[in-house]
Structure 1
Amino acid sequence: MGFITTIFIGLIIGLIARVLKPGNDQMGWIMTILLGIGGSMVATYGGQVLGLYRAGQGAGFIGSVIGAVVLLAVVGALRKR
C-alpha cells in the first residue's frame, strides 16, 4: 500500500471515528489522519492478541474504525486529566 493511500484511508477512518464518538474533539487534519492510522494499528495488533487475526493479516475497515474510536476515547480521557 502506498504512502498516499495510507494517508487517505487514515483520514477516512479518522473522520468516521470522530463522527461516531460524541463530544467535541478539537483536532486538525493531521491528528485526524494519525488517529485513523493509529486506530488501524490498534485493531490489527489487538485482534492478533485476541486471536481474531493471524500474523501478517490486517484488520478490516470496520475493525479499524472501532480501533480509532477506542483510541479517540483514550485520548479524550487523557486530555481531561
Structure 2
Amino acid sequence: MGFIAFLILGLIAGAIAKLILPGDQAGGWIATMVLGVIGALLGGWVGSAVFGVGLENFWSFQTWIVAIIGSIVVLLIWGFFTRSRHAH
C-alpha cells in the first residue's frame, strides 16, 4: 500500500475508533486521527506478526479490522496516560 493510502487508512481508522470508544479522550479529532495513523501502523505490525494479516491491500476487510483495532488500542493507552495526568 502506498504512503498516502496508508495515511488515509489511519485517519479513517482513528475516526472510527473514536466513535467506537465511549467517553471523552483528550486531544480532539486531529490528535485522534494522528493516533489512528500510529494505531494502524501498530495494528498492521501486530496483525502481520501474529496472524499473517498486514496492511498490504487498502480495500481488504482484514486490513481495516487490524487498523481499527490498533487505533482503539492506541487511543485506550493515550486515554490512560492523559487521564492519569489530569487526575493529579
Q: What range describes the TM-score normalised by the shorter chain of this pair?
A: 0.7 to 0.9
Percent identity between matched residues is 29
Give CA-to-partner distance per residue, 1:10-69, whole Å, 9 cap, x none: 22111100000000123244322212211111112222332x127xx4261011101100
Q: Structure 1 stretches (4+) deviating beyond 3 angstroms?
A: none
Alignment of 1:24-43 (within 5 A): 24-43=24-43
Task: Name the amino acid aligned to 1:34.
Answer: V
State the TM-score, normalized to the length of structure 2: 0.71
Cα-Cα RMSD? 2.0
Task: Name the amino acid aligned to 1:75.
Answer: W
Any stretches of 5+ residues in structure 1 without a counterpart? none
Cα deviation for residue 71 of structure 1 reads: 0.7
Structure (1/2) with the larger helix percentage: 2
